[in-house]
Structure 1
């Protein structure tokens, strides 16, 4: 992916709203609204105007009332738009500096929104965790997004900002000539109550497995990306299940979107060693950006689900088996989507979690452990991340690329996003560093 030209001056078109939240009445959308209201017209916040959009104004009104509680809802415009009506999306994008898209599965509903934003020169952020959609948007819209000045960034939620910013945070703890070969992330979901996911996330997983061949075909049709220079040999595949004694966790290897997004970020960094120049970037920011990326040390990255007991992995293993067996034919997909609670052993259900459920909380010679920690991933952490990403885009627009389809890490790495997340309940901590016996 070619580096943007930083010698041109780009003046954004005047827009009516700083942010429009599309799909604001959905499971995740209403939590994004609640998070965004915290920063609307508050001191030092760049968010001065906000609108909500979706198919049903009455549902948007209910969502706004819920998100505002116990305070009365503010007077915020409620706009009608539908992914099946491209003209409504064009009207929406023409009014917004940024659209936050919360309407999934993105494989089914995401492209019309991306297309409208690119055509209108509107910036676009979403909470997608679907690799095939993200890579297809890059292949189809990157060049036009650069031309139109539309910044398109997917995976601005739990997928995949904690992994991306967490890896960059981790990288800074490898001092001097030392460099990591492999970084493994263990996803530990701790709660005193049963974890429940919404149907949209489950549906995305079913459709992702069913269409995995399309991702393979897409990658074969595109030029190969640059590979980062990582010291040492590629790590062995290892076992699917392992016991991590130091963390006291049983780990299950996941086919995670996080590792794919991280690889795309590192590929873009390899092609652009100093990062991506901003559209009207200051000299000070150029120095800051180049210094930041020169300190980043690429590594192989993988994700494992961590549980305190081996039995705790059983529901995920069973869901994986069901997805693998049934998603490949239409009747199997119908069964999976008709009875999500049964096939996921209660982890996903059509009505989604209740508010109460959401509210819970060479041989290597060196090992570094860091930790990223935050609240419930789907409805608390994801809205925090999405809104903070949007605030960075509003506040720091001149220092960001003019446009293009990118991953969060390559855009937000040198910004103050990590600091903003720290200030809003998502912590990045250094745990330990030690020498390993050879």
Structure 2
């Protein structure tokens, strides 16, 4: 999307056509917001990014958790777990390239956000504490790390919109991924350090993009996953939310209610993503009365919070459910 996405957005806006995409690249997503939000609003069209695995499960999962809590949800953490079958799993190198160029261009992303001039999202309730780069998760009995995808930035954009435009209580959000035991941690640390060193330099980026299979230990390939690999792979995203019971002021005292929800589905990149994308498109076409009142460039949560998107996803294998009911 960084290299080829904008002409599509531009053509849609100029010709009065709404569009969705499955980008997981914050710089592209937020760049399109800066450049085309006003124009899209003027044309009455909806440009809705990150409608695949990045970031429908996370963005809509936070809203689902909020709606299932009897009270005021103020903070959520999600933990992603991807399971693969005997054939293993891999990802096409297009995702690898997005990561390489995205990490190399972090300075420009910061400049872009400064140019946009986002209004700060107020912290309601107890502040969500940031976890470390690696930590042992007692809930899952394995190690976890921060999720490096676009989920956090997408959810924050949705929460900002819902707060500023609809006066809803903003939810703090942290995203993590479970990686397994200590051996996995050690391997990931060495690979991560090596990756970050190479990505800083032009020749390093060329090596990374030319030989993705070698540098990712087979996780990213130019061919992508086989059908057997896709059939044997699934994901689970577990949400732990906390907040304040009905009648309790979130500005006073500690959170007194918790909830656990889950989004699960088939292989994330090539099975769950098209399901999410198509159902987002159906919601865009059929739930017009539930969309934001004016066109613009939106995140999924901002665009679809009042639609039947979650119901549609539930019927097609990307399932949202409550794991533990709210407890005071």
Instruction: Please indicate the TM-score interval, normalised by the length of the shorter structure.
Output: 0.7 to 0.9
Question: C-alpha root-mean-square deviation of aligned residues, in Å?
Answer: 1.9
Alpha-carbon distance in 1 for matches of 2:289, 2:93 = 38
Larger deviation: 372-381 or 304-313? Answer: 304-313
Are residues 1:217 and 2:111 paired? Answer: yes
Counterparts of residues 350-389 of structure 1 (less than 5 Å)? 350-361=222-233, 363-389=254-280
Say if 1:252 and 1:313, in contact at 8 Å, map to a contact too: no
Pair 315,393 (structure 1): closer, same or farther in 2 beyond 3 Å: farther
| Residue 218 (structure 2) aligns with | 346
The CA deviation at 1:364 is 4.3
**How do residues 13-412 of structure 1 correspond to structure 2 at under 5 angstroms?**
106-176=1-71, 179-192=72-85, 193-232=87-126, 234-273=127-166, 297-314=169-186, 316-361=188-233, 363-401=254-292, 402-412=294-304
Give the drift of 1:314: 4.8
Question: Structure 1 pair 411/189, CA: closer, same or farther in 2 (3 Å)?
Answer: same
CA shift for structure 1 position 319: 4.1
Aligned residue-pair number: 307
CA distance, structure 1, for counterparts of residue 190 and residue 73 of structure 2 = 34
Alpha-carbon distance in 2 for matches of 1:318, 1:131: 26
Higher relative contact order (CA 8 A, sep 6+): 2
| Structure 1 residue 149: Cα displacement | 1.9
Secondary structure, counterpart of 1:374 in structure 2: strand
Q: Which has the larger radius of gyration?
A: 1
TM-superposed CA distance for 1:216, in Å, is 0.4
Aligned residues of 2:16 and 2:44 also touching (Cα < 8 A): yes
Match of 2:306 among 414, 432, 436: 414
**d(CA) in 1 for partners of 2:216, 2:62:** 30
Question: Per-residue deviation at 1:367?
Answer: 3.0
TM-score (norm. length: structure 2)? 0.88
> Alpha-carbon deviation of 1:384?
0.2
- In the alignment, structure 1 segments of 5+ residues that lack a partner are 1-105, 275-293
Task: Return closer, same or farther for 1:317/1:127 CA change in 2, 3 Å cut-off.
Answer: farther
CA distance in 1, matches of 2:31, 2:117: 13
Give 3-state SS (helix, strand or coil) of 1:152's partner: strand
- Gaps (5+ residues) in structure 2? 234-252
Cα offset, 1:121, TM superposition? 0.7
